[in-house]
Amino acid sequence: MKTVRGHGVDGLLIYDHQPGKVTIYTMDKKVGSKLTTESKEVKSKLLHSSLDKLLEDAAGKLDRPV
């Protein structure tokens, strides 16, 4: 699906930080796609580098062109 300007969506990433755990939920743009998760245990804060890695791992699950 693309907008009039040619912009499209490859999928959805949702960031959820609960005490002790950060979870990234992902879903492909295809109708009927399953929600998948990528999680990391944390004490209080997640390092930027760890967040980057978590987002990369989560986005890697999306069916999208590279």
- 6-19: pLDDT as tens digits: 777 778 899 999 99
pTM of the shown model: 0.76
For residues 20-51, one letter each, b for 16 or more C-beta atoms within 10 angstroms of the residue's C-beta and e for the rest, the string is: eebebebebeeeeeeeeebeeebeeebeeeeb
Q: Are 22 and 16 a contacting pair, CB within 8 Å?
A: yes
Which residues, listed in sequence order, are joined to residue 17 by a DSSP beta bridge? 22
Quick: pLDDT tens for 22-63. 999 999 888 888 999 999 999 888 889 999 999 999 988 887
